[in-house]
Chains A and B, each alone.
Chain A
Amino acid sequence: MFTEGRVEVDGIRARYLEAGQGSPLVHFGADLSTPSPAHELLARRFRVIAVETLPPGRPGSEAAATIGRIIECLGLTDVDFMATAEASTAALWFALAEPERVRALVLEAPTAIGAAPRGELERRMPEVTTPTLVLFGTADRQAAQDTGRVYTKLIPNSHLVFVYDAAHAIGRDRPEAFAEVVADFLERHEAFIISRTPTVIHP
């Protein structure tokens, strides 16, 4: 069951929803208009704090600083960090600025690459040390799926996932598929490529 809260930082009053126990997973850029099945699934394993989209138009480094202060206000130090679409830009700047505070980074349908002017961020992506998971839906018509390969080429410890038959809002379209791979990655980082799925039909 999600509870609602608000946090005020840098003149921005951001609404957030929170549920679950365990290590904190902070999600920026979430659509909080309706409950998200993906958040509910992730809240079984993580303390999920989904923060509404920050106002657009601020430089990425400024937005990253705001993210840092929001996390502080929430009483958290280091977190798993998830960002959707436009929030991915600030998320990457945050991972560059304060890598010790980001255990792992999940980028859902990110738009940090492909929209100008973002040359500086792309140039600095090889400096990202955070284990990073990049997800695109195969039915996404808003974010450029082809940019997925650029993230994984530029970010050293990163992995690309295509979620079949999901559009831009992957977590809403395929919540089980999305939450499973995100949770697995957050737990095991690069070792998530080793399958743990049992195939025993009859013992």
Chain B
Amino acid sequence: MKVSFFETVRYLAPEPLRPEWPVPSGAYDREAGAEAYRAMIERLQLVEELGFDWVSVSEHHYSPRILTPNPLLAAAFIAAHVKKLMIAVLGPIVPQSNPVRVAEELAMLDTFCQGRLVVGLLRGTTNEYLTYDLNPTEARGRTDEGMELILKAWTEPQPFAWQGRHFQFRTVSVWPRPLQQPYPKTYALGTSKESCEFAASHRLGCGLSYGTWESTARAGRYYREACARHGWEPGPDDVVYRANMIVADTDTEAQELFDQQSKQAPFPLRAGVRDALSTLDQRNVAGVPRAAIVNAALPTTFIGGPDTIIEQIQRCRDEIGAGVVDLSLTPPSSRDMGWLTRSLELFGTKVLPRIRGI
């Protein structure tokens, strides 16, 4: 089992913020922001020392909860400060990006970090559609087409035109190309049937996140079956599972920490927007419809002392098929940096060495 640390940048607001998304940017504190990015590097150096395999970043906007609106910039900054960690961009939100630009920037990044890049291509969480005016009903189509175009831009040696449904380019010829050939390890991120099918048909990895054991396992099964239909068998590294974990010295202590956490999103959307988005954003897990997650805190899958966590990671390998877990060790909105450091050290010393064989 490989382990990735999901870096969200811990912005500690000096004053309480209005619990609403978007959070007014006038409430941003520059010193707190500068300190958050500085502390991030210090934290990731510890993550590297503890033997984690990857650090991951992802695209989120208009709130301090995850302060990486451009995950590629964050990845470039991180890559310059750590030496061994793989840099996992999980990922840019494809439907609201220029896919050619994403292909160019990821290729630059792979070259900057000397081939340590891992790529996840993401449809995006529901509220993010509001950031750049993305029509939610088009998100799926733009994601699929954008992913296809990114892969084509990385691999086509001659200039080409793209006559898509949502994107049109009369000439594409990206420089640089990725250092890793034909391109970095790439995952289609999402539990949906469409995402799993895309990953399987393009021989990509599959990134699953934040579901229950059962639903995530269903998506993992769907992906492996789709791969079989396309004539190949994915390995452990082909499935990444991003999840929340609360690890403590004992199960009881971990459960208490979990019970203390808010089950609400820290910056919810207004009710009218939430309801309208929930109607427009159609989601599924391996073809089974599910409601879009709007305004609810994401579930926590791993809770326990080291022994229990190891059992849960074994279950993750057995039931979900994941060979990489991408972990938040405290909620992104937690202000307790000591808790995060303790969790990192506990996981790194008591869990990590014992899960390599899983």
List A residues at the B interface (Cβ < 8 Å).
Answer: 149, 153, 157, 188-191, 193-203
Contact = CB atoms under 8 A, between A and B. Distances in A.
A194 B277 contact: yes
17 contacts: A149-B26, A190-B270, A190-B273, A191-B275, A191-B277, A194-B130, A194-B136, A194-B273, A195-B134, A196-B135, A197-B135, A199-B142, A200-B138, A200-B141, A200-B166, A202-B163, A202-B165
Interface string B19-62: 00000101000000000000000000000000000000000000
B276 A194 contact: yes
Contacts of B24: 153
Contact of A197 (B133, B141, B163): B133
B164 interface: yes
Closest 6 pairs (CB-CB, A-B): A191-B276, A195-B133, A190-B272, A195-B135, A191-B272, A201-B168
B5 interface: no
Contacts of B163: 202
Q: Is the interface of B mostly helix, strand, loop or mixed?
A: helix
A188 B272 CA distance: 9
Given A190-B270, A203-B165, A198 B135 contact: yes
A194 B138 contact: no
B280 interface: yes
Contacts of A197: 133, 135
Contact of A199 (B166, B277, B280): B166
Contacts of A194: 129-130, 136, 273, 276-277, 280
A202 B273 CA distance: 30
Interface in B114-173: 129-130, 133-136, 138, 141-142, 163-168
A191 B277 CA distance: 8
B96 to A, nearest CB: 10
B273 A200 contact: no
Contact of B130 (A189, A193, A199, A200): A193
A170 B163 CA distance: 37
Nearest to A188: B276
A203 B272 CA distance: 31
Which of A188, A191, A194, A199 has most chain B Cβ within 10 Å?
A194
Contact of B165 (A189, A196, A201): A201
A199 B138 contact: yes
A149 B24 CA distance: 10
Contacts of B272: 189-191
A153 B26 CA distance: 11
Given A199-B138, A202-B165, 9 more contacts: A191-B276, A191-B277, A193-B130, A194-B273, A194-B276, A196-B135, A197-B135, A200-B141, A202-B168
A191 B275 CA distance: 9
B135 A199 contact: yes
Contacts of A195: 129-130, 133-136
Contacts of B134: 195
A202 B129 contact: no
A202 B135 contact: no
Contact of A191 (B26, B133, B138, B273): B273
